[in-house]
A and B are shown apart, each in its own frame.
Chain A
């Protein structure tokens, strides 16, 4: 039963995504046209509050629910994969208006056509795994 909390967190995430309108294709388009502050405000607030929280967790050496130290993994270098992968991701994000989370939230909201985007995302993930070793990282 302890796993039910993850479902509840996911439900909260889905509601937040809808009520913030971050799942909206229109909002993503507006963001990339620099015609509204909304999305920048959401991400900006999250990053500032998130950075303060992470700083405090590290500084105060807070423990998690099972009394284990909270560790933050550093992302490995070099930067090539982040730039190329990120750019490919951005192309898809602006086309579908949906990053991975919002795809599923939209599906639940009733946008059944999002299933095609999800199938695409699974195919894309599979394709990456298939040709990973041939790509520059």
Chain B
């Protein structure tokens, strides 16, 4: 059993589990949308006094903050007990393309060039990680949701605005991957 869990899960099982989580939240009278937590955290820290957008009853969103806390614990549990003993199976063409960008495939989830502690000695790493985060935070609030809110919850409810948002996710993602990353990495 534990050996089975330690394997990477097939895409159809992963997709099924994501829907299960969405349905659990729906059954509890909530909805699956992670990025609204970022707004809630801003409100908690008193941003509502200065900016109207953050002046709302954030306490009603406490359940989602607990979900966020759980997701951190889930990551930790995975690392301690469920991590895959084998290398990530990345397609050979991706590995080759990344070599061209100076990113070495290390078999782990994330590249050392961007996410290892030693990469922080390069100020460029800070700049890339911080600006990437700003784009995600700004964009998800502008679009009114992220992958969970639009691509999963919104598309499941056949929302055209969510489809437009997901098309936007891909326009931005393709621009970054094909045009911008080769310049900035």
Contact = CB atoms under 8 A, between A and B. Distances in A.
Interface string A8-29: 1111111111111111111111
A33 to B, nearest CB: 6
Contacts of A129: 39, 42, 47, 51-54, 141
Contact of A98 (B18, B136, B158): B136
- Name the residue in B35, B62, B126 with the highest tally of chain A Cβ atoms < 10 Å from its Cβ: B35
B138 A128 contact: yes
B152 A43 contact: yes
Contact of B70 (A8, A79, A91, A95): A8
Chief secondary structure at chain B's binding surface: helix
Interface residues of A, number: 112
B136 to A, nearest CB: 4
Contact of B29 (A47, A64, A99, A101): A64
Interface string B121-149: 00001101111111111111111101110
Contact of B111 (A25, A73, A82, A100): A25
B24 A9 contact: yes
Contacts of A23: 75, 109
A27 B105 CA distance: 11
Interface of B: 5, 7-9, 11-12, 14-19, 21-29, 31, 34-35, 37-39, 41-42, 47, 51-54, 62-64, 66-79, 82-83, 88, 90-91, 93-94, 97-98, 105, 109-111, 114-117, 119-120, 125-126, 128-144, 146-148, 150-162, 164-178, 180-181
Shortest 5 CB-CB distances between A and B: which pairs? Answer: A14-B74, A10-B70, A86-B168, A120-B133, A90-B172
23 contacts: A7-B73, A8-B70, A10-B69, A13-B70, A15-B82, A17-B71, A32-B176, A33-B94, A54-B156, A64-B27, A64-B29, A77-B161, A79-B160, A84-B143, A90-B170, A92-B176, A93-B172, A99-B35, A100-B37, A103-B136, A113-B125, A119-B133, A125-B137
